[in-house]
Structure 1
Amino acid sequence: MSGNQEQRHIYYDRDLGIEAYQLSGIVQKFPNHFHEYYVIGFIEGGKRHLWCKGQEYDLKAGDLILFNPRDNHYCAPIGRELLDYRAVNIHTDVMLSIAREITGKDYIPHFTQNVVYQSEIALSVAEVYEAMLLDMPKLKKEESLFCLIDQILQEYAAPFETAGDDGPGEKTKMLCSYMEQHLAENIALDDLASMIGAGKSYLLRSFTKEVGVSPYRYLQTIRIERAKKLLEQGIGPIDVAGMTGFSDQSHFTNYFKEFIGLTPKQYQRIFSDTLPAREIIIENEVN
């Protein structure tokens, strides 16, 4: 039986300190989750149904996607159309540095829209991606990235302080902090409920409403985010699995691939040499 060629191109650029993804021929669904970094991406081909922070979007080629850190989201194919997608992942410290250079102010940028249909900014994302792919001179890469961020800050971002305080309440923040500090432990719902003096049903409803994901999904997401940092440091996947609370390496690998689209070993390889930009290509046959 003939299959479609699925490719996942992943780059890490040490000059810029950012990751870039190109997913081609993808049919995988991605579960409800969030990232600790900014994501700026666009659809190159295919169609996707996206859920983000309680809103739903039908995406097609040319649509821009903007995720703030911890914007919960998940997506699925429409009509089994194959997804072609490019994105750059920008950690908060890098974004803060660029925003400070552009505006002369110290603030945390906040994207005011998660989806911009048929945006010309998609071309700027592609330019950053190509600069990394071809390992162009550092000046060219920095110029492309600064131009991209400048466009978004002007059109689709506001200082975090003026965006409105619609985040989780203090009790929910306390639960999040507890899970972050004890992520390797076997946390039970009873433990969380007792911390805020509430019933388990109320906790589940209120936490999911305020955070956008359930407590269990939150725990799994922060475990994956912590695992990524440990893998980047060169720690082996077996050790990382134990350090982040997964029962075994198989369990860890399955969750990691579900969230990230790669196995832990594949992800770790992009940080395994000293070149300015490191590319990993993963190809699979999908029916």
Structure 2
Amino acid sequence: MKHTYKTIIQNYFHRFQADVTIAAFSAPKNGQAMEQVSEFYRLWFIIEGEGELMQSGRLYHTKPGQLLLLPPGKQSFNTGSAPNAVYWCNFRASIGDMEIFDLLKLPIIVEPKEQVQLRMLFERLIDVYRSSMITRELRIRAALFDIMAIYLEYGGISEESLQQVEPLEKIDRVLDYIELNLSEQIGVEDLARLAYLHPNYFIGYFKNIVGYAPTQYVNMRRVERAKQLLEKPDCNISEVAQQVGMQNHYLSRMFKQYTGVTPSRYRQIYLSKKQNKS
């Protein structure tokens, strides 16, 4: 996947927040029909039985081993001739003004290989949801995020589908420009011009999609580029600073602000680790 698209998606996942409203295990009877309008996202992991799901006017056939991500809206589900067994949870998830799952155009159904792991994750999610331990919220999110990670790895996030999303196409040009010009002065006006937006509007637009203000993102990319250069023994600190468009003292201050260590200390740690491996 193209670096800029990967950066955008990773930043979305970095900011991803979700609140589980319920987690449970259910066993609908054979021939049972259920219809409801939900304001939540829902995850289903089907253990037993087959059925039919009607979602957004499309019919899906469900079977054991499937993991389903159902968006908010109207759904109807009919079980087959045998009883069903389903692990499930409801959760809210939104990032800024854009729903990540709508943006990525993800499938309703995936069929992961990690069947045993998924069963254990749902059982853990249900257990901690019912618990009163002080770390309950952390453990709920940890289990949910592990389930979501499995779903997303099988969801087929493709570069082709991302290219069709207009906001990403605009920001793609901007991120490409940033990557090619980290050694130069980068102004917000220049970036806004690439997206054909007014600078005042562009700042919020960029932050809504990428997760960071333009200046903050540029600084982060400069620090990441500096890390790569510091890992090369033949590139001194002055050369690193020059290639990321900073003076030595400013690079040192920003690098420590973002990583907690100075550039020279980072290089020392990296080279020490490399020598230990060899």
Short-chain TM bin: 0.3 to 0.5
Q: Bigger relative contact order, structure 1 or 2, given CA contacts below 8 A and separation 6+?
A: 1
TM-score normalised over the length of structure 2: 0.44
> Whose Rg is larger?
2
User: As a proportion of its length, which structure holds more helix?
Assistant: 2
Higher strand share: 1
Q: TM-score, normalised by structure 1?
A: 0.43
